[in-house]
């Protein structure tokens, strides 16, 4: 968290307002945030009400705790005068020109509704970029044009929210884009809370919540199997999807969204072929 705050404070174009949300930390996070944010007048530290906070990681996922904390924080401020709204996780270290570069990108492309960078994680050989399609902006790094976010109905408090939001934007004609030259450092490997296998299973549950079809998930599990722990990662991802299906976990109900998303997946498969 300290690295995250320092990286934002050193931006060539820092935010006009940064809402840092503590949604139930039980360690020293709150003290670290207060210390690092001291002297930054554009920072407000918020703490979500304790009622309804989920306990373990699985409960947080089903509860869409990230999306709920994001929406709760936005409700605490008047965002009507802002042109862009972003979301940043507390384990991300940004390059100094991150926000300035993205704002220039929005200026160049009026159809751009969501932009962000990519992230790298530390491996045995140093920092290595996590490969994702460049029309997908990771949930930890999102910057929205405020008008596009409102037009798409905001961030859904739903399992798989960080894929659903992009799909709604593209359905409405907005572009979504991750900049491969803006590489942020992710200090905690993705899906590693509670162990990497549990994290891959949570990722599979998110794929189910976002309405991704089983054949696509099967292909994704093969790709994820190439990440640590090798082989088992893909099995855990597939298990998480199937377990969510067996439990009838909440799933996006918008049939038009599902059709649009499946059409995108088919086009990606054809390009790959």
pLDDT, one tens digit per residue, over 179-238 is 999 999 999 876 555 678 888 898 898 889 888 889 989 998 998 999 888 999 999 999
Same domain, 158 and 110: yes
Render pLDDT for 140-159 as a digit per residue (tens, 0 to 9). 999 999 999 998 899 998 88
Q: Give the range of the structural domain holding residue 47, as residue numbers without chain letter.
A: 1-190
Distances (CA, A) of 269 to 131, 262, 266: 16, 11, 5
Q: Locate tokens 């572009």: which residue?
A: 175
Residue 191, C-beta contacts closer than 8 angstroms, at least 6 positions apart? 198, 199, 200, 202, 203
Neighbours of 193 (CB within 10 A): 16
Parts of the chain with a pLDDT under 70: 51-63, 190-194
DSSP H/E element including 224: helix 214-224
Of 124, 155, 190, which closes a domain?
190
26 and 117 fall within a common domain: yes
Boundary of a domain, candidates 143, 162, 190? 190
106 vs 90, 102, 138, 212, 219, CA distance in Å? 24, 6, 17, 29, 33
249 and 208 in contact (C-beta within 8 Å)? Answer: yes
| CA dist., res. 51 & res. 113, Å (int) | 34
Task: Select from 171, 190, 209 the last residue of a domain.
Answer: 190
Regarding whether 169 and 38 lie in a shared domain, the answer is yes
- pLDDT for 191 equals 56
Number of structural domains (the chain) is 2
pTM metric for this prediction: 0.87
Q: Which residues pair with 164 in a beta bridge?
A: none
Q: Contact, 200 vs 233, CB < 8 A?
A: yes
């Amino acid at each position: 968290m300290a690295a995250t705050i320092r990286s934002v404070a050193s931006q060539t174009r820092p935010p006009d307002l940064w809402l840092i949300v503590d949604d139930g930390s039980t360690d020293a996070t709150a003290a670290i945030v207060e210390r690092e944010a001291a002297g930054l007048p554009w920072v407000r530290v918020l703490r979500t009400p304790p009622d309804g906070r989920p306990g373990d990681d699985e409960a947080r996922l089903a509860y869409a705790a990230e999306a709920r904390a994001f929406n709760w924080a936005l409700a605490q401020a008047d965002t009507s005068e802002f042109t862009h709204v972003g979301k940043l996780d507390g384990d991300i270290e940004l390059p100094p020109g991150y926000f300035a570069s993205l704002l220039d990108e929005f200026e160049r492309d009026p159809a751009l509704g969501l932009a962000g960078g990519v992230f790298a994680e530390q491996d045995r050989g140093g920092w290595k970029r996590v490969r994702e399609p460049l029309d997908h902006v990771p949930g930890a790094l999102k910057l929205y044009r405020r008008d596009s976010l409102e037009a798409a109905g905001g961030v859904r408090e739903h399992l798989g929210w960080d894929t659903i939001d992009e799909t709604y934007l593209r359905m409405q004609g907005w572009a979504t884009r991750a900049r491969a030259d803006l590489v942020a450092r992710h200090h905690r490997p993705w899906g590693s809370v509670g162990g990497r296998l549990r994290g891959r299973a949570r990722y599979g549950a998110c794929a189910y919540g976002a309405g991704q079809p089983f054949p696509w998930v099967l292909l994704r599990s093969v790709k994820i199997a190439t990440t640590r722990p090798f082989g088992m990662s893909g099995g855990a991802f597939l298990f998480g999807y199937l377990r969510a299906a067996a439990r009838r976990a909440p799933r996006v109900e918008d049939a038009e969204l599902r059709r649009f998303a499946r059409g995108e997946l088919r086009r990606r498969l054809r390009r790959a072929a």
